[in-house]
Structure 1
């Protein structure tokens, strides 16, 4: 049985690249102001995923991904 990749992948549809960025977002109509959801992105998809969230007013922060403290996010 395949449990999926052994590394954090980009959240873009069909992309299997290693994630290098985390996009922190929330939907203000559904979430409290301090709540954050996380999408992971490779270098190629960071701009498009960020733009998708930003035009909807959901994007809160973009930070590098890959530090030891980020290992639990997938």
Structure 2
């Protein structure tokens, strides 16, 4: 357990306290106004998220279903 992580979701205790640890199986990207958003990114202005985000979910099987919350 002595490993050090820089994952913002672990450092912020989202993973561990809110949800269990998981291994991502597909790549997901989220962009607002052509700017990619990463885990731990703080949006500086509410106007940044005033438009709908673009969400891309990778993966080989197009029959897979996903839920975003």
TM-score by length of 2: 0.34
Give the structure with the larger strand fraction. Answer: 1
Structure with the bigger RCO (C-alpha within 8 Å, sep 6+) is 1
Q: Which has the larger radius of gyration?
A: 2
